[in-house]
Amino acid sequence: MTGPARLPRLAVWAVAAVVGVVCVPVVAVLLAAVRPDGSWGTDALERVLTSSRTWRLVAVTVGQAVLSCLLTLVVGVPAAFVLYRFRFRGRAALLVAVTVPFVLPTVVVGAAVAAVLGPGGLVDARGTWFAVLAAHLAFNLAVVVRTVGVAFRGVPVSLTSSARVLGLRPSAAFRRAVLPAVAPAVGAASVVVFLYCLTSFGVLLVLGGGRVSTVEVEIWVRATRQFDVSGAAVLSVLQLLAVVGALAVYGRVAASARGARGSGTDPSRRPRGAGERLLVASTALSVLVVAVLPVGALFVRSFQLGTVWSADNWLQLGSVVAGTALSVPPLQAVWYSLVSSSLAAGVAVLLGVAAARGVAHRSGGASDRLLLLPLGVSATTVGLGMLLAVGRPPVDLRASWWVVPLVQAVVALPLVVRVVAPAIRSVPPSLLDAAAVMGRSARARWWEVELPAVRPAVASGAGLALVACLGEFGATAFVVRSDRPTVPVLVARLLGRPGAAGYGQAMALSCVLVVVCAAVLALVDRAGRGSGRSATVL
């Protein structure tokens, strides 16, 4: 009675609009790669693909992603085991702490790591892979801990006890019974982390210092430093292919991870013996060092100007400090960020909910996959593509301030769809059938049954979209105008300049963003309590 054939026209249009909007930047980039000077040609392809540096960069990019991934697994898998199999005081707090860096803007995570591994910190590691890896670890720990942790919890206690009964020692039982059960989840988490690191941009720009670079950074350098747009586009295409490949792998791994689902009972217990207590303590320590220390340092260092304690970084947020070369006071950027993110999130929610309704009943279709793509497509590709798409006659929007919210909406749209569509899918058909039997039209069923049922998901989708827009950097950086910067753009700019004043202000401004994001997420948590999917979007 309520089959996909009865989809309202609005939902179909919304899906079409979303797919269109998402394809615009990708198509623009593809065109720029094969039509370097407005006519078909392979010069740009040849120039970039025959350069040995390109392939060196590709190798470095993949290499750092693999390394970041392994590092996150080494720290994350034991932490997941401890946090989901043991019960102890502070466990809930540690779980929240793990999640914090993941929901923060990447530029802020970069700034937080720079607070520890930057000028005046433990050691100035900016411009080394060490700092970049530390930031990737902090950012991605939540992905591994949450995904693998849920799998650990799903392994029934009976499985290990039977293995023990069969004569296996505890370590062997763990290796032969538990690990295989969580392997698919480890695989799925690894692909996600790999993908994030492959397309990591904010972190690299803030911590790379122009000395360590990846394909993503090179796209940015070519387009905005060398004015080699076609070369940047070719690299974007390379990046796109890598992302599509990784997503294909993810599709397979995630399917098998979903297959392995255990009992619903919570198998966690209090740690026994010195060994287990040591394991718990070391997990707590690693989470503190990786996730809590950088964010804490951010707040502490925001009260330092050079080597002296000072509140100037905060007091002068309303003015342009000499030596920072800003075009507007930082507080003004906070306002611009709030305006543009609310606008973008609003558009993303209205369009995204409609589109989610369209794809909800046709999961696995082409539109579903297309909607997934922008989650993986690098932000610089979206930014470059949008700049190319809106910057030519007859529509030249480059000077309009709302290009920034437009680009942010493109980035946030898929997030909303990803959160809301499964919720719509899980509305019990019996409920809709009952409404239909009672003579309700499809439209009325949507407003009276489906939408109220997915309200928490819509709320958390809206909140996530808002947070994503507030922190959006890679795409925004391409289209932002100097007189209307957003907060992440200013943070990156301040950190890119020498001198204590810029550094201190970057710390304070990052803190502002942390507080704003935390407030939004707290609101979402209250509105959407029970949906519980805020941290497991992909």
Partner 1 sequence: MRNTTKRLLLATAVVAVVAATAGCGGSGSGDDQGGNQSTGAAGTKEVVLVTYDAYALPEGAAAAFKEQTGATIKVVAAGDSGAMLSKALLSAGSPEGDVLFGVDNLSAPTALKKDLLAPYSPPSLASVPERFRLRGAAGKRLVPVDAGDVCVNVDAKWFADKGVAPPTSLEDLTLPQYKDLLVIESPVTSSPGLALLAGTVGRYGEDDAFDGFWTRLKANGVRVRPSWDDAYFTDYTVSGGDRPLVLSYATSPPAEVVLSEGARTEPQSTVLVDSCAAQVEYAGVLRGAPHPELARQLVAFMLSPAWQADLPLSNYVLPVVDGVTLPAEFQKWAVRAPSPMSAPTEQVADRRDEWVERWRNLFE
Q: Which of 169, 398, 425, 529 binds partner 1 (CB under 8 A)?
A: 398
Count of positions on this chain that bind partner 1 (CB under 8 A): 55
Under the criterion CB under 8 A, does residue 18 sit at the interface with partner 1?
no
| C-beta neighbour count of 93 within 10 angstroms | 12
Beta partners for 305? 308
Under the criterion CB under 8 A, does residue 223 sit at the interface with partner 1?
yes
CA 347 – CA 222 distance, rounded (Å): 31
Give the interface segment with partner 1, choosing from 131-139, 182-190, 269-277, 338-346 (CB under 8 A).
338-346
**CB neighbours of 518 closer than 8 A, spacing ≥ 6?**
none
Q: Which of 210, 245, 318, 428 binds partner 1 (CB under 8 A)?
A: 210
CA 428 – CA 439 distance, rounded (Å): 18
Cβ 36 to partner 1 shortest distance, Å: 13
Cα dihedral: 129, 188, 280, 68 (round 10): 0
Interaction with partner 1 in 460-479: which residues (CB under 8 A)? 462
Under the criterion CB under 8 A, does residue 83 sit at the interface with partner 1?
no
Give the interface segment with partner 1, choosing from 62-70, 80-88, 277-285, 326-334 (CB under 8 A).
326-334
**Amino acid found at 370:** L
Under the criterion CB under 8 A, does residue 209 sit at the interface with partner 1?
yes
Q: Which of 8, 78, 156, 499 binds partner 1 (CB under 8 A)?
A: 499
Q: Which of 1, 41, 46, 51 binds partner 1 (CB under 8 A)?
A: 51
CA 455 – CA 349 distance, rounded (Å): 12
Under the criterion CB under 8 A, does residue 332 sit at the interface with partner 1?
yes
Judged by beta carbon, residue 87 or residue 443, the one nearer partner 1 is 443
Q: In the chain, helix, strand, coil percent, each to 5?
A: 75, 0, 25
Q: If phi over 0 gives left and psi between -120 and 50 gives alpha, with beta otherwise, what is residue 199?
A: alpha
Q: Which of 10, 12, 17, 343 binds partner 1 (CB under 8 A)?
A: 343
Cβ 355 to partner 1 shortest distance, Å: 14
Under the criterion CB under 8 A, does residue 128 sit at the interface with partner 1?
no
Q: Which of 115, 247, 353, 370 binds partner 1 (CB under 8 A)?
A: 353
Judged by beta carbon, residue 71 or residue 409, the one nearer partner 1 is 409
Q: Which of 161, 282, 363, 482 binds partner 1 (CB under 8 A)?
A: 482
State the alpha helices, DSSP H only, in 391-475.
403-425, 429-437, 442-445, 451-453, 455-471
Cα dihedral: 503, 505, 508, 510 (round 10): -70
Q: How many CA atoms lie within 13 A of 409 on its CB side?
A: 22
Output the six-digit token pair for 131.
């700092």
Under the criterion CB under 8 A, does residue 221 sit at the interface with partner 1?
yes
**Amino acid found at 23:** C
Task: Give backbone dihedrals phi and psi of 391, rounded to 5 degrees, phi first.
Answer: -100, 25
Under the criterion CB under 8 A, does residue 10 sit at the interface with partner 1?
no
Q: Which of 1, 6, 20, 53 binds partner 1 (CB under 8 A)?
A: 53
Judged by beta carbon, residue 147 or residue 341, the one nearer partner 1 is 341
Under the criterion CB under 8 A, does residue 401 sit at the interface with partner 1?
yes
Q: At what angle do helices 330-360 and 9-34 cross, to 10 degrees?
A: 120
**CB neighbours of 204 closer than 8 A, spacing ≥ 6?**
110, 132, 212, 213, 214, 216, 217
Under the criterion CB under 8 A, does residue 455 sit at the interface with partner 1?
yes
Beta partners for 395? 392
Cβ 206 to partner 1 shortest distance, Å: 13
Beta partners for 396? 391
- List interacting residues with partner 1 (CB under 8 A): 51-53, 209-210, 213, 221, 223-229, 325, 327-328, 332, 335-336, 338-340, 342-343, 345-347, 349-350, 353, 387, 391, 396, 398-399, 401-402, 405, 447-448, 451-452, 455, 458-459, 462, 481-484, 493, 497-499
